[in-house]
Structure 1
Amino acid sequence: MARRKCATSVSLSSSSDSSGLSESAVPVPPKKISKKVARPKKKRRSSDDDEKGTNIERDIDPHEEFVAASCCIARCMDVFCKTKQLISVGLSLQQHDAVENGDVSEDEDVRASRDKRLSKMSLKMQDRYKKNYARLLQLAPSLKPLLSDPRKTSELNIIIKKMDAAILATRSDDTSRLKSQIGHYAAFSLRSPIMPPIYDGTGSRTHLGSNHPVLAQFLCPVRELKEFAKDADKAQKKLQSGKIKMTASALPAFLWAGDLPGKDYDDDNMFEGMFEGHLLERTMRHIFTSPSSAYGGETRATRTCNAALHDMTTVEAAHIAYGCLQVRFGISAKNAWSEVDGDFNYRDFYNNIVDLIEDSPDPEWKDELLRAWNLKLFKSEEGRDGNSTTNDISSTSREERDDDLARVRAQMAARRAAKAAPARPPSPPPSVSPPPPPCELTPARSSEPTPSRESIPVPPCTPRPHQEKPKIVGVSVTAT
């Protein structure tokens, strides 16, 4: 036992102390001792790298998943979403459904209190909360264990604050990036910029909105555009004074198509051309695909577009409403964001557009509208390829390959159509015309047989021993 203790103490001591001991007294080879001594030196040499690695780990936000989900919520779900309220209502609705289905039991007082809160909401609003809550858990699956663990309440509150801040920041960032482009997008033609200029070099926006003679017509309620047709100056003054009210339920003219928005507006057929304005279309492309694709051309973006980041494969009502909100604020005279602009309420405006599209009494119109927007943003009525992680517009080689496929499909379709066409009556076999008689000059005729003439049978020809040129005999030409 003494030897073992000594051996143990020696094995942990320095190499100079163990040099005088016999090999039998030291069970650990000297090489192992040298290795143990060398390891700390290696760590010292790589201490700078370790420090860098630690800094990188510190820079990584553990809540990045929730921040990314918030960006998607702002653009694709509800820009006015309050995360805490969404979670609270979502859990209440989930519990209510579980009790109704008999999956769980609860105290009557708790149930009565919850049902009283939910009764203040319409069924349509409850359905929207259910949908958004399910989407939230899909975007941020790490929320589930936090919601079910009371010990994680403090961490959950921190995450909720970060998510709310990210939703606001997303809307603000998109507004800032559009600020320098919205004036160019408002001009129907690039060769004819809006006059007077939208950008005056001051950075102020007070000259925009109803204070700008052109943008005033963009913001004017579409049903009041006739006032501008009568007298544009008087109509602009009515907008400025509030005699023509701009409210969330009075849809602005920029939603409609036309070189001047609402130019072809039909008051008896309002939905024709609605949500087809060029300013809205360019703004939507700017936000969801890339600024370089705003005018419908090839994108030059070097990073993944927002549509791919948010796994957006088709256009929905919330996307269109978000674009409308950004356009309306972008051409207004407000220097800072606010939910209320005079008589106009942005939250109501956003919700009105979502409701108008989602609850349309004409499902065919809704389907045509969304398919048209899929085509505008993703070059296909079916939407963007969900497996793609890049922008909607692919590389040149991909486009060429797609062109070849389209050509093959077109040829296949033509072949199938030809097979399905009714069969034509067989045409008579081509006949061999006899050589012209030596005494006549016949005009050239088509080799195709005509249905009005019957083919003349030709006797079999016998080969001649020698080929001779035919002689024309007895042809006389007299001058008249």
Structure 2
Amino acid sequence: MPESTDQNNRSEDSFEALLWSLDDTSSTGRKQKKVNPLDPYLTAAQFFRLNYDLFANVFIILRDGILAEFEPEDADHDQEQDEETRANIHLFMTFAKSIPNFSGLIAKLEREPESLTSFLKSMESAVNAARCDDTGSLKHAGLQYMLDDPAKDRFDPPILKSHSKALRGWNHPQMARLLCPARDITEFDMDPQAYMDKVNAGEKKISAKQWPSMFYDMSLYDSKNKKKGFLRSRVVIQAWRHIFTGPMSALSKDNIGRLSKPGKGKMHHLAEPGIRNIMYAACQMYFTASNAESWTPVIGAMDFGDLYYRAIDIVHDNAEQQWVKDLMKFWKDETPGLADNHPSKHRRVAATSNCDTDDDMDNFFGDDTAAADQKDEENETRRLANNDESLTQAAAGSSCTLNQSNTGNPQNNAPPTPPHSSPGPAPPHSSPGPAPPRSSPGPAPPRSSPAPVQREPSPLSKPPASPPPAGRKMK
């Protein structure tokens, strides 16, 4: 039998096994068998909220992405796509890269409309179950990360596992101080109870425009330059380790190398911390400190979606600024044990908020922005001048050096390997292998327009009978 025919038969057998697995998948998206063909896809889905988007409507993301990739191209339709749909497609393309042969599977499932819908719902359930698992894991374990010294410090009044979350949030002084806007911390410390009473009475509205002190290393905070200490909080760092490198590593990064079980970061080949997974941990800890009993995107006047996207936007918009580079290096130093690779960049248009309270984006960069920009330009000019001088000096002796180094070593004549910023898609293979390291989502490469193909309309072209609730708009 020809090798290609044998491979096709194995592929069809695997696909049939996956269809059987879909029939045996529970409504929660968790697998009922120890080993089945759905495992790689549901496992990949479990990382979506953690590293791609905490608030996106997953079913709509998958639907829009599949329609864009597999339906016939229509230039007029592409022009009519709204900004949200284009953002959904971009997110789908980025996520799909992390799943081997995902496009091939979807192409086959389009011939099985009921199985395709079942597959997408299983993926959606796995996505949300992973977020729920982290929320539950941090409900009690996360309390120790809020103490300066968990070995000595205690909550006063005490918070026990038997207590409901009603005692947390703005009803507990230590929790309230973490939720308090960093710029109000002096006012809070003067009279914590009075500040808490104002919040509970609605006299003070805490919104996403006010960065909580929980996000800061408050020893570095400067109300006139709010980027200082931003996202360097010990609380957020320990929560991140809890989620991505394991609970045993949370209190000390020195414990990461001693863990017998790989954390979620290594299991999903995360290259290094990125702003999206950092903000995932930050939002999880904000919820842990709040008095909300079950996950909700809004607590009082605080819209988690605004909080999440605003932080992502400010870091992405300033990715080339030194303070962002320093922040990312700080995080990499605090979270060893992940795959070593350079992160790709991901850009999304800033989310907006309808809240009319004072905005912590004011004075975020302080008075040093212009001076810092000028200094960066001067450093770049000096660097280029030094490079030109070095190249001129090197050119004079390059011929002799090359002749000496190539003697007896013909491999030195090979051209150098070109640098690359991120790995390309993995080549197809018949047996599973390790996935390439990945970092935070980056922009999807432009697709060429294939020739129109006559095919039956996708089952996703019709809205589902009971569409999932609309999620946060991607802007």
The TM-score normalised by the length of structure 2 is 0.60
Give distance in 1, aligned partners of 2:181 and 2:230. 13
Q: Aligned ranges for residues 137-286 of structure 1 at < 5 Å?
A: 137-149=96-108, 150-257=110-217, 262=218, 264-286=220-242
TM-superposed deviation, 1:211: 0.4
What is the CA–CA distance in structure 2 between the aligned matches of 1:205 and 1:138, rounded to whole Å?
39
Name the residue aligned to 1:401. Answer: none
Counterpart of 1:138 in structure 2: which amino acid? K
Q: 1:307 aligns with which of 261, 265, 272?
A: 265
Corresponding residue of 2:54:
79
Q: How far 1:193 sits from its partner (Å)?
A: 1.7
Deviates more, 1:136-145 or 1:304-313: 136-145
Checking the alignment, whether the CA contact within 8 Å between 2:157 and 2:172 is kept in structure 1 is no
| Residue identity matched to 2:107 | S
CA deviation vs aligned residue, 1:10-36 (integer Å, no higher than 9, x gap): xxxxxxxxxxxxxxxxxxxxxxxxxxx
Task: Report the TM-score when normalising by structure 1.
Answer: 0.59
Residues 371 and 152 of structure 1: CA distance in aligned 2, closer, same or farther (over 3 Å): farther
Q: What is the root-mean-square deviation of aligned Cα atoms in Å?
A: 2.7
Contact 1:283/1:294 (8 A) holds in 2: yes
Structure 2 residue 324 is the aligned partner of structure 1 residue 324: no
Matched-pair contact (CA < 8 Å) for 1:146–1:153: no
Contact 2:47 2:268 in 1 (8 A): yes
Shift of 1:291: 1.0
Aligned to 1:119: 82
Deviation, structure 1 residue 302:
2.5
Residues 207, 303 of structure 2: 8 Å contact kept: yes
- 1:151 to 1:191, Cα distance in 2 relative to 1, 3 A: closer
The count of aligned residue pairs is 309
Unaligned runs of 5+ in 2: 1-30, 342-475
Q: Residues 272-317 of structure 1: CA distance to partner in whole angstroms, max 9, x if unpaired?
A: 0110111111111111111111122324532121111111011111
Please state how far the C-alpha of 1:337 moved relative to its aligned partner.
Answer: 1.2
Alpha-carbon distance change, 370 to 173 in structure 1, aligned in 2, over 3 angstroms? same
Measure the CA separation in 1 of the matches of 2:143 and 2:209: 25
Whether the 8 Å contact between 1:222 and 1:252 is mirrored in structure 2 is yes
1:232 Cα deviation after fit: 2.1
Deviations 1:407-458 (A, max 9, x none): xxxxxxxxxxxxxxxxxxxxxxxxxxxxxxxxxxxxxxxxxxxxxxxxxxxx
Q: Which of the residues 328, 331, 339 maps onto 1:384?
A: 339
Does 2:88 correspond to 1:132?
A: no
The farther-off stretch of 309-318 and 73-82 is 73-82
Q: 2:255 aligns with which of 280, 298, 301?
A: 298
Shift of the alpha carbon at 1:58? Answer: 5.5
Structure 1: any 5+ residue segments left out of the alignment? 1-55, 97-104, 387-480
State the AA in 2 paired with 1:165: S
**Change in CA separation of 1:202 and 1:268 when aligned onto 2, cut-off 3 Å:** same
State the alpha-carbon separation in 2 of the partners of residues 152 and 146 from structure 1: 11
Which of 344, 362, 368 is the aligned partner of 2:326?
368
2:245 paired with 1:289: yes
Q: Which amino acid aligns with 1:221?
A: P
Shift of 1:324: 0.7
Cα 1:58–1:69 change in 2 (3 A) is closer
CA deviation after TM superposition for structure 1 residue 93, in Å: 5.8
Matches of 1:362 and 1:238 in 2, distance apart? Answer: 40
Q: Is the 8 A contact 1:146 1:152 kept in 2?
A: no
What letter matches 1:278 in structure 2?
R
**1:360-415 CA-partner distances (Å, limit 9, x unpaired):** 27522222111111110117xxx6336xxxxxxxxxxxxxxxxxxxxxxxxxxxxx
The one-letter code sitting in structure 1 at the alignment partner of 2:65 is G
Quote how far apart the aligned CAs of 1:318 are: 0.7
Identity %: 23
Q: Residue type matched to 1:115 in 2?
A: Q
Shift of 1:92: 6.0
The one-letter code of the counterpart of 1:136 is F
Residue 218 of structure 1 aligns to a residue in which SS? Answer: helix
> What SS is found at the alignment partner of 1:186?
coil
Identify the residue that residue 36 of structure 2 maps to in structure 1.
61
Shift of the 180–229 alpha-carbon distance from structure 1 to 2, 3 Å rule, reads closer
Superposition pairs of residues 314-353 of structure 1, within 5 angstroms:
314-353=272-311
- Structure 1 residues 82-110: Cα deviation after superposition (integer angstroms, max 9, x where no partner): 333223433566689xxxxxxxx85xxx5
Question: Residue by residue, what CA displacement relative to the aligned partner does 1:206-262 show, whole Å, maximum 9, x if unpaired?
Answer: 1111100111010011222232133222112112222221212221110111xxxx3
Q: Which has the higher contact order (CA 8 A, sep 6+)?
A: 2
Letter of the aligned partner of 1:256 in structure 2? Answer: Y
Distance (Å, rounded) in 2 between the aligned partners of 1:166 and 1:69: 9
Aligned to 2:271, the other structure's residue is in SS state: coil
Asked if 1 retains the 8 angstrom alpha-carbon contact of 2:319 and 2:325, the reply is no
Aligned-partner Cα distance in 2 for 1:337–1:57: 26
Q: Higher Cα Rg: structure 1 or 2? A: 1
Aligned counterparts of 1:265 and 1:244: Cα–Cα separation in 2: 22
CA distance in 2, matches of 1:188, 1:179: 18
In 2, the alpha carbon distance for the partners of 1:91 and 1:331 equals 38
Measured at CA, do residues 272 and 86 of structure 1 come closer, stay the same or move farther in structure 2, by a change above 3 Å?
same
1:347: Cα distance to partner? 2.1
Q: CA deviation at 1:197?
A: 4.5
- Partners of 1:362 and 1:142 lie apart in 2 by 34
